[in-house]
Amino acid sequence: MRIILGVSGGIAAYKAVLLLRLLKEAGHSVRVIPTKAALKFVGKATWEALSVEKVTTSVFKDVPDVAHVALGAEADLVIVAPATADLLARAACGRADDLLTATLLVATCPVVMAPAMHTQMWQHPATVANVATLRLRGIHIIEPASGRLTGSDSGPGRLPDPEEIAEIALGFERHSAQGQGPQSQNLANRISASNQAMPLDLTTSITTAPYGQNDQVGGAPHCKLVVTAGGTREPIDPVRWIGNRSSGKQGIALAQAGAELGMEVVLIAANIDNGELAKLRGNPLIGIVPVETCLEMLQAVRDVQDDADAIVMAAAVADYRPVVTENAKLKKQAGQPKRTIELIENPDILAGLCEQRKPDQVIVGFAAETGDNDHTVLEYGQAKALKKQADLLAVNDVSEGKGFGVAHNKVWLLDKNGELVGEAEGSKTDVARAIVGAIADRLPK
């Protein structure tokens, strides 16, 4: 595969050397295009020695070869790491004042950018708007990591590890080559049509406040995705509840996959660990609505369902809740080794959504199942698909420690007739991208 590795001028440029080595060792042909500022951090000789290709920053080199057009046109994948605030700004404005930005304007292959900068620069309204613009154009932005920055400062803005960048970027290229997932042509057509009909005003439609100060998001014109995640808790008293083992990892991966496509995402998060939610904070396309119980989740979904183009019910919602929630902690009582708690059935949020869906709205449900002597996991899933009538039902086996709280997942995708229309297996990120790709294929062109 022919890869362009763009490197802009930040201290994290040294990590791009390791990324280059990983790509070369994987058997890919890599042409490095640094900016002039990048060469102040890592010299031309290093890039040429490791890539075994010549390196230049200017459009006035190799003029007869028309390099500023040929490089982007011939590439199978473009990776920019690190992508500084300046590079993001120039790319968002369509500048072509050096070889790297000119190449970005020509490339028709997947383009992946890994930003790295100081936290305040990453969260500045200008950078937030630039990132949103690039995502709406189909550029894949990898969220920066949190940790130690230059000097004594810490926060979001670190370049992710080279191994992570390589895995994500190569994954996008594979999806594109297979005509599925994040490179869905249907979604590209939808974005194009909506942008022509209603130009995006980034000054008003994209939030400019870091999460924690403002968890609301504005309305990107092309697609709004609602994802529920985590597990609801139905309180018995102030310290006890009825709950489940859901960690919310799959829902978080779905939110990230949607944002990678430029979708505006609302994540309705039920009791998800703050460490998991931290992966989403700072992403201008993802808003977080915290809930605890089924009834709270039902209300949160109702608040956004009319504006949603797609809804994914990935949360594990309790089927029952206590009829009475005690105001004080229940105490043990002498001579009463047993206690009875009366339960009442919770509303079926997914079934209600399917009954009240608006035209062209795509609804995806999840069914965490275990098999028994009577039926397999897939058979139980098929029965649920017929009952719920979601456009897609992702059925996963949660027996013997599978599914909940682990990194790996496998789902069968069933349509409303219970027919198997797809499968996805791998990391929860892989599964999420497959599901979001399937959603994109069902959105109106």
Active site residues: 244
Separation between Cα atoms, residue 230 and residue 252, nearest integer Å: 9
Q: Which token pair is 327?
A: 């105001």
Both tokens of 316, joined, read 């594990």
Q: Which residues of 222-237 are buried (b: 16+ CB within 10 A; e: fewer)?
A: bbbbbbbbbbbbbbbb
- The residues near 438 (Cβ < 8 Å, ≥ 6 apart) are 364, 392, 413, 421, 422
Which residues, listed in sequence order, are joined to residue 141 by a DSSP beta bridge? 113
Alpha helices in 52-124 (DSSP H): 67-74, 85-92, 99-106, 119-123
Q: Give 68-87 as a DSSP string.
A: HHHHHHH-SEEEEEEE-HHH
- Residue 308 structure tokens: 């949603």
Distance CA 122, CA 208 (A): 11
Which amino acid belongs to residue 347?
P
- State how far the alpha carbon of 343 is from the alpha carbons of 94, 296, 319, in Å: 59, 17, 10
Instruction: Report the distance separating Cα 390 and Cα 335, nearest Å.
Output: 49
- How far CA 82 is from CA of 30, 45, 97, 160, 172, in Å, comes to 16, 19, 18, 9, 18
433, 178 in Cβ contact below 8 A?
A: no
| Secondary structure E strands in 19-168 | 29-34, 77-83, 111-115, 140-141, 145-148, 154-158
